[in-house]
Structure 1
Amino acid sequence: MYTPEIFAENDKDNIKEILNNYSLGTLISLDENGAPQADHLPFYLLENDDQWTLIAHFAKANPLANYIDGARVLVIFQGADGYVSPNWYPSKQIHHRHVPTWNYQTVHLRGTAKIFNDIKGLMRAVGTLTNIHEATQPTPWKMKDAPRDYLDEEIGGIVGLSIKIDEIVAKFKLSQNREPEDLAGTVAGLQDSGNVKLAEAVQKAYKNQT
């Protein structure tokens, strides 16, 4: 991924925030014929010291199960993004030397994939992912809420996936190349257009620069 230094994000806490808040990753792999394939899976992150591992699961019927084990893969996570109008820049009113752009946060993780089929591992993978996302519910759903025979049937239809990460590249293009007054205009414009998440990200990036 082309990443100018000004947009490169190296803070692991900021990167983890994207993985935690935008869990649906795009898994890029090559099938048996060398053709690129994309699958969209919810992931969660395991940390062991400095080693990151992504965990997910997918349907046994997915052809991914035939070729993903041991393969090198890329997983892309997309954070907040949105259109930025040059009309939001105060300096545009002076010299008009601006064009539209798009701000975004994206994280690319590369690693080696491994599938697992043991019941204990699958139950842990599904249970952990469920607990993470049920935590915001007034009455969190638990796996034990489902009849055991039904749960066994569902678990029997999936494959577990772990990806040991060895390369992390993050790009947060958040108007860091703009003057403070134009950056403030960007935040205001994003807020007015309803893109609060991106406005907050731009504001945070600016504070980190100062």
Structure 2
Amino acid sequence: MYLPAAFRQDDLAELHRQIVDSRLATLVSHAADGLQASHLPLLLVPEEGPFGTLYGHFARANPHGRVLAEGGSALAVFSGPDAYVSPSWYPAKAEHGKVVPTWNYIAVHAQGRAEVFDEPARLLDLLARLSDRHEAGRAQPWALGDAPREYIDAMLRAIVGFALPIERLEGKWKLGQNRSAADRQGVRDGLGASTDARDRELAQRMNHPS
């Protein structure tokens, strides 16, 4: 990832927080016939390894699982809020007009080599942890035990899991840090007044760029 120093995010807690907040990741691997990309909910276990370990699962029929089993490197991309930035929001536009549109965004890249597994007990634990995480806060959260065990056992035979110890972790918080304080405030105001909730979310993140 192209990572100018002004936009680099090195705080491990912030990087982990963004991974957790990004509910769906894009996992990319290089296969013999080209790139494989899958869109997956991933579970972060922060205490495993220097940067944490990611866990997920594929349908057994998905060839991406076989690619990971061959030992190649994989890249998980976690996207945060993003928004178009209009040059009309910069006070500098009125001063000299030398401004152009850009895009502000937050992204985290996690890279490593995966271990693929299909032991039923390990898969069951992974599915329970993933569903518990995403069911949290619901009035009547669903749990694996709510489904018949023979049905769950059949589902386990149809998937493979993987663990991806993170070997390289990069974060990019492109939030206008290279602009003047006045220009940054103009962007915050412009995004904050938007009718698009995604724009307003990014405006909030610009108030706390670290």
TM-score band (shorter)?
over 0.9
Does residue 203 of the first structure (1) align with residue 202 of the second (2)? no
- Work out the CA distance in 1 between the residues paired with 2:65 and 2:85: 40
Does the CA-based 8 Å contact 1:43-1:56 persist in structure 2? Answer: yes
Does the CA-based 8 Å contact 1:26-1:41 persist in structure 2? Answer: yes
Does the CA-based 8 Å contact 1:55-1:161 persist in structure 2? Answer: yes
- Structure 1 length-normalised TM: 0.93
Deviation at 1:49, TM superposition (A): 5.8
Does the CA-based 8 Å contact 2:15-2:171 persist in structure 1? Answer: yes
- Work out the CA distance in 2 between the residues paired with 1:88 and 1:138: 42
- SS of residue paired to 1:74: strand
Does the CA-based 8 Å contact 2:12-2:51 persist in structure 1? Answer: no
Matching residue of 1:10: 10
Deviation at 1:197, TM superposition (A): 1.6
Which segment is superposed worse, 47-56 or 78-87?
Answer: 47-56
- Work out the CA distance in 2 between the residues paired with 1:73 and 1:117: 19
Letter in 1 for 2:99: H
Deviation at 1:48, TM superposition (A): 2.6
- Work out the CA distance in 2 between the residues paired with 1:183 and 1:65: 43
Cα distance change on mapping 1:26 and 1:49 into 2, 3 Å: closer
- Work out the CA distance in 1 between the residues paired with 2:35 and 2:141: 38
- Work out the CA distance in 1 between the residues paired with 2:184 and 2:72: 42
Letter in 1 for 2:36: Q
Matching residue of 1:122: 123
- Work out the CA distance in 2 between the residues paired with 1:140 and 1:196: 30
Matching residue of 2:149: 148
Deviation at 1:28, TM superposition (A): 1.0
Matching residue of 1:40: 39
Matching residue of 2:53: 53
Deviation at 1:3, TM superposition (A): 0.5
Q: Which runs of 5+ in 2 are unaligned?
A: none
Deviation at 1:175, TM superposition (A): 0.6
Matching residue of 2:191: 190
Q: What does the per-residue CA deviation read over 1:38-66, in whole Å, with 9 as the maximum and x for residues that have no partner? A: 11111011123624110001100101222
- SS of residue paired to 2:2: coil
Matching residue of 2:178: 177
Matching residue of 1:163: 164
Matching residue of 2:28: 28
- Structure 2 length-normalised TM: 0.93
Q: What does the per-residue CA deviation read over 1:134-187, in whole Å, with 9 as the maximum and x for residues that have no partner? A: 112122111111121221121221110111111111111011111112111111
Which segment is superposed worse, 91-100 or 118-127?
Answer: 91-100
Alignment size in residue pairs: 205
Deviation at 1:192, TM superposition (A): 1.5
> What RMSD, in angstroms, separates the aligned Cα atoms of the two structures?
1.3
- SS of residue paired to 1:91: helix
Tell me the percent identity: 39
Q: What does the per-residue CA deviation read over 1:108-144, in whole Å, with 9 as the maximum and x for residues that have no partner? A: 1110111110111101111111111111212211111
Letter in 1 for 2:40: L
Does the CA-based 8 Å contact 1:23-1:44 persist in structure 2? Answer: no
Matching residue of 2:93: 92
Q: Which runs of 5+ in 1 are unaligned?
A: none
